[in-house]
Structure 1
Amino acid sequence: MKNISFNRIYNTNCIDGMKSILPNKIDLIVTDPPFAIDFKATRQNYNRTASRVMQGYNEIKQKDYYDFTFQWMSEAFRILKKSGSMYVFSGWNNLKDILNALDSVGFTTINHIIWKYQFGVVTSRKYVTSHYHCIYVCKDEKKRKFYPFVRFKKTDRTQDGHSLHYRDKEDVWEIKREYWTGDKKTPTKLPAEIIKKILQYSSKTGDVVFDPFLGSGQVAVVSKMLKRKYVGFEIVPEYYDFAKNRLDRNQYRLKA
């Protein structure tokens, strides 16, 4: 690939695509890589009898997951600005490979965020998994951008007198999953509110936000709505078409 442009998405393998981006061009990376858990993208996963969950989810074998993760993270490190940051979402199954690869590539870990959502998969022989991990890292801690009072001022309080600023910046985020509307959907999607929060704290208007595993296009859609530049790669043609259609329609109207 040649001549990667911002405010566009591409139907390509992310490792190949990132090689076409010059070094130190990206302000923020937000991504939810493949699961490495033999994930099946079927409507049964969502208990939606009328839903049509798009097939073709591109999975990585567990035995290959560390090498794959190291490869794409190495490219991500190269294209990220020294002032930039990256947020990587992960389930617990492949978290060890994610953490080891981040260290091996040279990222500095800032926070280990837990996203607590409202429902998990009911089990009979173990505890219910109802959270997701988000590893917040940077390339250069001394130059990393962070805007601590962009969402709440120091003096903002809840009705019962607690600090909104403190609560919003705790490392456990209780944010509800989003229900898809309509029949067509991809098997995974991060809530827009999570992406909005990350973009507000770790970027500003005009910054370039990148997602190497675009999926439904959620990161690009929210970036566009918040007046950030965006770029993303998606290897599955049907997912790419779905994401592009969402971008063209400007689907979200985010709350202030």
Structure 2
Amino acid sequence: MQDVAANKIDLIVTDPPFAIDFKATKQNYNRTASRVMQGYNEIKQKDYYEFTARWMEQAFRILKESGSMYVFSGWNNLKDILNALDDTGFTTINHIIWKYQFGVVTSKKFVTSHYHCIYVCKNEKKRRFYPYTRFGKNEKTAEGRSLHYKDKEDVWNIKREYWTGDQKTPTKLPAEIIKKILEYSSKEGDVVCDPFLGSGQVAVVSKMMGRRYLGFEIVKRYHQFAKKRLDENIYRVKA
């Protein structure tokens, strides 16, 4: 990100490492381990705030005054994410909860079946948001309830996606989540950035929705995997 000029990015959507010694094995994610590409780069917990503050400083620099950022996080080191956002100068708009359909069952604590998504901006007075791109202001359900109100609540019940095919990276945001974020916080032609590209999901969905995209990935196998998906247009986003 240091090579990107300042004030060039319209929207950042990212799912950074969580510093939890993550291993996407068959045992905890019901996946055949041999099909999961290795190389996931984790951050030590003691270094997590410093690591987070470093990349957020660059994110703040390259984001336009009108731009926004969505950062996904587990609960374990959420405090470091929140502190780094404040210390970097971001303004928090919403704290979104993504509720998914399954979690890891343990015998001594409650099941964790959600992630946090922190929606922030660089300049609240210039921030862009498109409230009626998904549902009109007066659209109603069959029961007469507001569709756009329900869609904009800050708890999102969205299912994880199941990979198909032999190869897969350990983590991937559902296309439905990325599509929703892009519709509310960007328009066609905008530049969407993901500093932790992984499988390329943010870039792939951005491309399918007419956005320009930029992403970075330090694991060569993941980069090649993401590039193949983008080159082959193997993913289509439902309208």
Q: Give the TM-score of the pair, scaled to structure 2.
A: 0.98
Structure 1 residue 40, shift from structure 2 partner: 1.7
In the alignment, which of 200, 221, 226 is matched to residue 209 of structure 2? 226
Identity of aligned residues (%): 81
Structure 1 residue 98, shift from structure 2 partner: 0.1
In the alignment, which of 65, 71, 81 is matched to residue 82 of structure 1? 65
In the alignment, which of 148, 151, 156 is matched to residue 173 of structure 1? 156
Tell me, in whole angstroms, the C-alpha distance in 2 between the residues paired with 1:198 and 1:56.
28
- 1:116 match: 99
- Is 1:139 matched with 2:138? no
Tell me, in whole angstroms, the C-alpha distance in 1 between the residues paired with 2:236 and 2:75.
32
- Is 1:153 matched with 2:136? yes
- 2:194 match: 211
Structure 1 residue 51, shift from structure 2 partner: 5.6
- Is 1:98 matched with 2:81? yes
For these two proteins, the number of residue pairs brought into alignment is 239
Structure 1 residue 62, shift from structure 2 partner: 0.2
Q: Report if the CA contact (8 A) 1:51-1:183 is conserved.
A: no
Tell me, in whole angstroms, the C-alpha distance in 2 between the residues paired with 1:253 and 1:146.
24
Let me know the Cα RMSD of the aligned residues: 1.0
- 1:7 match: none
Structure 1 residue 252, shift from structure 2 partner: 2.1
Q: Give the TM-score of the pair, scaled to structure 1.
A: 0.91
**What amino acid does structure 2 have at the position aligned with 1:205?**
E
Tell me, in whole angstroms, the C-alpha distance in 2 between the residues paired with 1:157 and 1:225.
28
- Is 1:200 matched with 2:192? no
RCO higher in 1 or 2 (8 Å CA, sep ≥ 6)?
A: 1
- Is 1:236 matched with 2:205? no
Gaps of 5+ in 1: 1-17
Q: 1:47-66 maps to which residues of 2 (within 5 A)? A: 47-49=30-32, 52-66=35-49
In the alignment, which of 90, 93, 97 is matched to residue 107 of structure 1? 90
- 1:44 match: 27
